[in-house]
Amino acid sequence: MKIISGGVCAAKGFTAGGIHCGIRKNRTKRDIALIYSEVKANAAAVYTTNLVKGAPLTVTKKHIADGKAQAVICNSGNANTCNADGVEIAEKMSALIADELKISADDIVVASTGVIGQPLNIEPIAKGIPALAASLSEDGSDMAAEGIMTTDTVKKEIAVEFEIGGKICRIGGIAKGSGMIHPDMATMLVFITTDAAISSQMLQKALSADITETFNMISVDGDTSTNDMVTVLANGMAGNEEITAEGEDYTAFMKALNTVNVYLCKSIAGDGEGATKMLECTVKGADSSATAKTVAKSIICSSLLKAAMFGADANWGRVLCAIGYSKADVDVTKVDVTFRSPKGEITVCQNGAGVAFSEEKAKEILLEKEIEIAVSVGDGEYSATAWGCDLTYDYVKINGDYRT
């Protein structure tokens, strides 16, 4: 398996594009994106567990109930959530692009991201549909990635090439997410495409399993979004024998999917609103997978720990504190903590107690842009990884006037 270029257009038969249609006031930013498969694809999705859900999620869930989709349309700048006519607008978006592409509206994944509770005007979208369709290109992943951004500062896309049954397959994805990141299924918006042949049932199984190790393990600010959704389209154009059960081929697909998802997770965590550092917490030695995940997520979610990382302060007590209130079944007298970065590593806690260490060396390590918080909680066989970012002054500035 190797990383390749192309994003969501790397797989055979997929094109993408994006334009500025007028949803956002800033004309220099694309605000609507499109992904298209030249043949109908098998589809799978996971959605936010927030009781308040964006209308596009309701519509998408209905559209892909048969496990099929052929296109994705997504706007930024307005979440189309908590609007009386939200479902109507989402259905209209689907119908408009379906007519332009000459496909069924029931085969459209529709998504929106941005401000909650403001009506979404269909007029700029309707006027922009011809140009949006015309923007479709085999090199269009970059445009689509830009079109779904809100407070993101960087585009998030990746693709990998792998082999199934002697056939070369590709899988790629784009994502958006910077704030309101604390998923309970996936995160913000992620769109993945692959030319591997895999049944809708196995595609859903693969996605649902992988998010427990990836998107469910990131947090920027503890807020679960109303519009979180991850979708995968598999059009089968690689020509491999369709994956319909677990086995060697399914394992190869899962490995490729996980590679894409981990990369997008880290990209989202590192681009947290106002963030200056990406944090990765690895926990080992747990007596169960659930314990390892609980500990890792509790540490990465700690506002005090995140603030300490912003200040390059090796305040390891905040790690222990987060473990203590996580309700995970661990023996705190067996906890070890080490901070790592490209500048080296330093152990700050052993067996639940502090050890002598150089504050100067610790600061040098913690001033890097990527930091690992390595935690051992015993001699169990289970481990987990979670991703997040530091908490900075700019997070408050960004969210203090996000709507206005």
Given the DSSP bridges, would you call strands 278-286 and 382-389 parallel, antiparallel or unpaired? antiparallel
What pLDDT score was predicted for residue 69?
98
Confidence of residue 155 (pLDDT cuts 50, 70, 90): very high
Q: What are phi and psi of 63, to 5 degrees?
A: -65, -35
Residue 368's CB is within 10 A of a number of other CB atoms, namely 17
CATH 3.60.70.12 in the chain: give the residue spans.
2-270
**SS3 at position 46:** strand
What pLDDT score was predicted for residue 284?
98
Whole-number mean pLDDT of the chain? 94
> What is the Cα–Cα distance from 23 to 2, expressed in whole angstroms?
37
CATH 3.10.20.340 in the chain: give the residue spans.
278-400
Architecture per CATH, domain 278-400, reads as Roll (3.10)
Domain 2-270 matching CATH 3.40.50.280: the answer reads no
User: Which residues does residue 42 pair with via DSSP β-bridges, in sequence order?
Assistant: 68, 234
What pLDDT score was predicted for residue 253?
98
> What is the Cα–Cα distance from 161 to 75, expressed in whole angstroms?
29
Confidence of residue 182 (pLDDT cuts 50, 70, 90): confident
Q: Which of 290, 222, 195 is nearest to 4 (CA)?
A: 195
> What is the Cα–Cα distance from 228 to 251, expressed in whole angstroms?
26
Tokens at 381, concatenated: 């066989």
Burial of 26 (0-12, 13-18, 19+ CB in 10 A): exposed
What pLDDT score was predicted for residue 28?
87
Question: Which residues does 136 contact at the CB level (< 8 Å), separation at least 6?
Answer: 15, 16, 17, 34, 36
For 259-306, write each residue's pLDDT tens digit: 999 999 999 988 888 889 999 999 999 999 999 999 999 999 999 999
What pLDDT score was predicted for residue 180?
65
Read off the pLDDT of each residue in 146-154 and give the average, rounded to a whole number. Answer: 90
Calculate the CA dihedral of residues 67, 64, 234, 201 and round it to 10 degrees.
-30
Q: Taking the alpha carbons of 161, 280, 174, 96 in that order, is the dihedral positive or negative?
A: positive
Catalytic sites, residue numbers: 187
How far CA 251 is from CA of 4, 172, 216, 327, in Å, comes to 20, 17, 21, 33
Q: Which of 337, 354, 305 is nearest to 346 (CA)?
A: 337
For 320-356, write each residue's pLDDT tens digit: 999 999 999 999 999 999 999 999 999 999 999 999 9
Confidence of residue 232 (pLDDT cuts 50, 70, 90): very high
Read off the pLDDT of each residue in 185-212 and give the average, rounded to a whole number. Answer: 91
* Owner of token pair 């209308």: 55
What pLDDT score was predicted for residue 183?
64
How far CA 116 is from CA of 13, 122, 402, in Å, comes to 34, 16, 11
For 9-65, write each residue's pLDDT tens digit: 999 999 999 999 999 888 889 999 999 999 999 999 999 888 889 999 999 999 999
Read off the pLDDT of each residue in 361-386 and give the average, rounded to a whole number. Answer: 98
